[in-house]
């Protein structure tokens, strides 16, 4: 009995952690490459959830809704890059972060006015409803979808960053904007690519959260998005695989805290863990030397 409940909790934690991983990856794409914290990502994620929700409710197949939400989120992200980041890129790193804070206020207000601030309920039909039971432990199809999409997107992102010309150009801009320009990379375009990629990931995370919880509110951005920042820090902002490790870690930690310590303790534990990591190992679990992470911020 005790063991199966524990396994069930770990599975639920992994599902939550998968969502954290995607949002943390969205944060770290912009943070690692441009050295700015795009606070609007948490609200882009929320917008993605609502777009996906609306499409599914309108009868669109889940896969298409997922892609639609990702594209919508990427477009929002590109707008933020053009208005909120590009003109401010020569200012100190705090200024572009504040402008993304402005955008997150706009996006949240937009969502409360468009979809209302009451929770939105989704009823899943057909194959998505299925649950597999192994004794007392059960795994839903939705959870499997969350795992598959998360791992798939992480692998795609890693391949894109490490194996393609776009990835090389992104990393060149991250290393030195001016020299990469001299060598023929277009930094402005690469910045848009980084923002668009991060929007795609955040939008996907939004749809997955909607499927998993089947209830969303305009405030999930602050609730879940802020915790993804903690995941990014714990994993290491400059390493893609850091988010894939820290996401499930924090997801499991959080779910176990809820199960054994009380629901109100969860944020306490997660942010406490983040601060301990910041003090002991500021570059994160999988970050490089502290020198490289210190130089960029």
Partner 1 sequence: MLSSYQAGLVADGSILLLGALSVYVILSTGQLSLGNAGFMAIGAYLSSWLTVSVGMPLTLAIVISAAVSAVFGLIIGFPALRLKGLYLAMATIGFGEIVRTFFLNFEPTGGAGGFSGMEHVPLWYILGWTVFTLGCVMVTERTRWWLEIRAVNDDELAAGLVGMNTTVTKLMAFMTGAAIAAVAGALFAHQTLYIEPASFGFERSTEFVLAMILGGSSLAAGSIVGAALLILLPELLRDFVDWRIAIFGALLVAVLLVRRQGVLDRNLFGLARLWRRVN
Contact positions toward partner 1, by CB under 8 A?
Answer: 31, 35-37, 83-84, 87-88, 91-95, 97-99, 101-106, 108-110, 113, 222, 226, 229-230, 233, 262, 264-268, 271-272, 274-275, 278-279, 282, 294, 297
Q: Please give the Cα distance from 257 to 23 (Å, whole number).
A: 21
Nearest distance from C-beta of residue 1 to partner 1, angstroms: 28
Nearest distance from C-beta of residue 42 to partner 1, angstroms: 10
C-beta of 58 vs 94, nearer to partner 1 = 94
* Calculated CA dihedral for residues 209, 7, 248, 289, nearest 10 degrees: 170
C-beta of 103 vs 147, nearer to partner 1 = 103
**Residue 207 region by backbone torsions, left for phi larger than 0, else alpha for psi between -120 and 50, else beta:** alpha
C-beta of 55 vs 231, nearer to partner 1 = 231
Q: Give the pair of three-digit tokens for residue 125.
A: 């039909």
Q: Please give the Cα distance from 54 to 3 (Å, whole number).
A: 39
Nearest distance from C-beta of residue 211 to partner 1, angstroms: 26
C-beta of 13 vs 284, nearer to partner 1 = 284
Nearest distance from C-beta of residue 60 to partner 1, angstroms: 28
Q: Please give the Cα distance from 50 to 56 (Å, whole number).
A: 10
C-beta of 34 vs 142, nearer to partner 1 = 34
Nearest distance from C-beta of residue 86 to partner 1, angstroms: 10
Round to the nearest angstrom and report the end-to-end CA distance of the chain.
48
3-state helix, strand, coil in the chain (%, to 5): 80, 5, 20
């Amino acid at each position: 009995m005790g063991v199966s409940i524990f396994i069930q909790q770990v599975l639920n934690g992994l599902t939550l952690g998968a969502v954290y991983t995607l949002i943390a990856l969205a944060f770290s794409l912009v943070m690692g490459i441009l050295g700015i914290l795009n606070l609007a990502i948490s609200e882009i994620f929320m917008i993605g959830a609502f777009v996906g929700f609306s499409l599914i409710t309108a009868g669109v197949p889940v896969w298409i809704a997922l892609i639609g939400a990702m594209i919508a989120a990427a477009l929002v992200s590109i707008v933020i890059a053009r208005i909120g980041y590009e003109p401010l890129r020569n200012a100190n790193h705090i200024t572009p972060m504040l402008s993304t804070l402005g955008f997150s206020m706009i996006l949240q207000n937009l969502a409360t006015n468009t979809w209302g601030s009451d929770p939105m309920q989704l009823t899943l039909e057909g194959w998505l409803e299925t649950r597999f039971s192994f004794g007392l432990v059960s795994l839903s199809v939705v959870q499997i979808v969350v795992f598959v999409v998360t791992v798939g997107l992480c692998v795609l992102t890693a391949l894109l960053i490490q194996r393609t010309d776009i990835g090389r150009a992104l990393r060149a801009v991250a290393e030195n904007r001016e020299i990469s320009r001299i060598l023929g990379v277009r930094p402005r375009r690469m910045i848009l690519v980084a923002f668009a990629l991060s929007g795609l990931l955040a939008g996907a995370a939004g749809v997955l959260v909607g499927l998993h919880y089947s209830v969303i509110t305009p405030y999930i951005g602050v609730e879940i998005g802020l915790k993804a920042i903690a995941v990014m820090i714990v994993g290491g902002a400059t390493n893609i695989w850091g988010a894939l490790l820290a996401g499930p870690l924090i997801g499991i930690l959080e779910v176990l805290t809820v199960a054994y310590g009380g629901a109100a303790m969860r944020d306490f534990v997660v942010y406490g863990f983040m601060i301990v990591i910041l003090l002991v190992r500021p570059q994160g679990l999988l970050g490089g030397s502290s020198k490289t992470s210190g130089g960029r911020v």
